[in-house]
């Protein structure tokens, strides 16, 4: 596998997952002049999988441009984007605590999809992959939801929860990639990295 890559993600979990695979990496984060959040705007009637693939590609394009602008040594650039979907409804990162509670109420007692897109760019070569998992939440009482929201954990997380955090107490079943639900599907990441090494 590749000896060194750039990770264009602010997620500490993605960095931990790469470390778990033994992949040396450096963060390649947006500068103050970039509006990274603008890339994540959902288009009207956009299907969840199409949304994730489009946003992941936009993040890769921005990161490759960033590497050139900063005159960094050439190395593969890895990007990822995760979304939670219930039917065709996309649940991104909550804007505040009320929004987080709204999302958790919607997910409570249902099975939703977690779709994570992953993109790797090196030279003129770009590879994309997508991981889709299913997560079943037990029914959560209003008290459960309020206590979880008050912990602060849901903020900044797609679908207002972290599978590796306190939300695990409400997850009855998972089908698919645990690391994909965390934000970086390791099997797909390893396959892409092998393809460019």
Separation of alpha carbons 141 and 147, rounded Å: 10
Separation of alpha carbons 73 and 53, rounded Å: 27
- Give me the active site residues, please: 81
* Sign, CA torsion 156/83/132/61: negative
DSSP code of 39?
G
Alpha helices (H) along the chain:
12-20, 48-69, 97-107, 142-150, 178-182, 186-196
């Amino acid at each position: 596998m590749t000896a060194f890559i750039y990770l264009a993600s602010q997620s500490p979990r993605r960095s931990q997952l790469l470390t778990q695979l033994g992949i040396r990496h450096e963060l390649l984060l947006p500068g103050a002049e970039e509006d990274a959040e603008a890339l994540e705007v959902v288009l009207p009637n956009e299907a969840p999988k199409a949304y994730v693939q489009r946003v992941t590609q936009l993040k890769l394009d921005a990161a490759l441009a960033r590497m050139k602008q900063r005159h960094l040594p050439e190395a593969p650039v890895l990007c990822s984007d995760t979304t939670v979907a219930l039917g065709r409804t996309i649940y991104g990162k909550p804007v505040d605590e009320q929004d987080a509670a709204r999302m958790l109420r919607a997910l409570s007692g249902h099975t939703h999809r977690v779709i994570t897109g992953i993109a790797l760019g090196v030279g003129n070569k770009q590879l994309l992959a997508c991981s889709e998992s299913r997560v079943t939440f037990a029914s959560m009482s209003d008290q459960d939801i309020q206590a979880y929201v008050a912990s602060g954990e849901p903020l900044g997380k797609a679908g207002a929860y972290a599978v590796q955090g306190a939300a695990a107490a409400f997850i009855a079943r998972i089908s698919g990639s645990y690391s994909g639900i965390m934000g970086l599907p390791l099997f797909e990441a390893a396959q892409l990295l092998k393809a460019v090494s």
